[in-house]
Chains A and B, each alone.
Chain A
Amino acid sequence: MCASIFTGVDLVTISRFHTPTAQKQSFLNLCFTPHEQTYCFSKADPAPHFAARFAAKEAVIKALSGLDLYLERNRIEVFNNEIGRPYLRFNTDNDKILSLKSDISISHTETSAIAFVILYTDPKKNYKSIYRE
């Protein structure tokens, strides 16, 4: 059995995260987890890090739309492993979302941040009962 693969990509202009509205706590809480806020604010310039994470969340939302699923931005969490490679965690009770495997790649220039996400089903499992074909 083959895995089903869903992709998402998003590009964000970093300067959007230098604006006063994007620095308000209510906006940050809507879009980012406390862990992500702590991580980004630990950087000399948090904006590129917020932008990259926002792009990651949008990319996940786009990929999930292929399954008719949705997850709020502040329930999609980006972590970095010990060598700095990003990975995703989904804070939800939705079994369909939790059963998905994921991979993510993030990059940025001085002006833009981009994220590319792949969500895929485990080919060893039978998803026919919970996913549309």
Chain B
Amino acid sequence: MSDSEKYNNAFLEAFGVDESKLNAELTYQSIKAWDSVGHMSLIAELEDTFDIMMETDDIIDFSSYEKGKEILAKYDIKL
């Protein structure tokens, strides 16, 4: 499984949404599941999936599907 597929799977697991929702429009609180609880579920999924520990500032800044790709690049995860 590619890193992009793993990245998408983390969103699907955390939010239980259809894969068609994974696009530039997906931002914090743009869907019901991406609230504060969902946000921490997503971060936990990503940390598990990529075996990383995200910095606090990155957890706060992780505001969209696209922004998340930029943040994960800091952890040498190219998406």
Task: Name the B residues within 8 Å of A26 (CB-CB).
Answer: 44-45, 47-48
- From B21-29, B33-41, B62-70, B71-79, give the one contacting chain A: B33-41
CB-based contact A21/B60 at 8 Å: no
Cα–Cα, bound, A21→B47 (Å):
13
A21-B36 contact in complex given A70-B56, A70-B60, A72-B56, C-beta closer than 8 Å:
no
A21-B45 contact in complex given A70-B56, A72-B56, C-beta closer than 8 Å:
yes
Task: Name the B residues within 8 Å of A21 (CB-CB).
Answer: 13-14, 41, 44-45
Cα–Cα, bound, A24→B41 (Å):
9
Task: Report the minimal beta-carbon distance from B78 to chain A, rounded to whole angstroms.
Answer: 23
Task: Name the A residues within 8 Å of B16 (CB-CB).
Answer: 19
A27-B56 contact in complex given A21-B14, A21-B45, C-beta closer than 8 Å:
no
Contact among A10, A27, A70 for B40, CB-based, below 8 A? A27
Assess whether A16 is interfacial by the CB under 8 Å rule: yes
CB-based contact A24/B44 at 8 Å: yes
Task: Report the minimal beta-carbon distance from A25 to chain B, rounded to whole angstroms.
Answer: 9
Task: Name the B residues within 8 Å of A58 (CB-CB).
Answer: 36
CB-based contact B37/A16 at 8 Å: yes
A12-B40 contact in complex given A21-B13, A24-B48, A26-B47, C-beta closer than 8 Å:
no
A73-B40 contact in complex given A21-B45, A24-B48, A26-B48, C-beta closer than 8 Å:
yes
Cα–Cα, bound, A17→B35 (Å):
13
Cα–Cα, bound, A22→B40 (Å):
9
13 extra A-B contacts, CB within 8 A, seeds A19-B41, A21-B45, A22-B41: A12-B36, A12-B37, A16-B37, A16-B38, A17-B37, A22-B37, A24-B44, A27-B40, A30-B40, A30-B43, A31-B40, A54-B37, A73-B40
Q: Interface residues, chain A, CB within 8 Å of chain B?
A: 10, 12-13, 16-17, 19, 21-22, 24, 26-27, 29-31, 54, 58, 70, 72-73
**What are 8 A-B contacts defined by CB distance under 8 Å?**
A19-B41, A26-B44, A26-B48, A27-B41, A29-B44, A30-B40, A30-B43, A31-B40
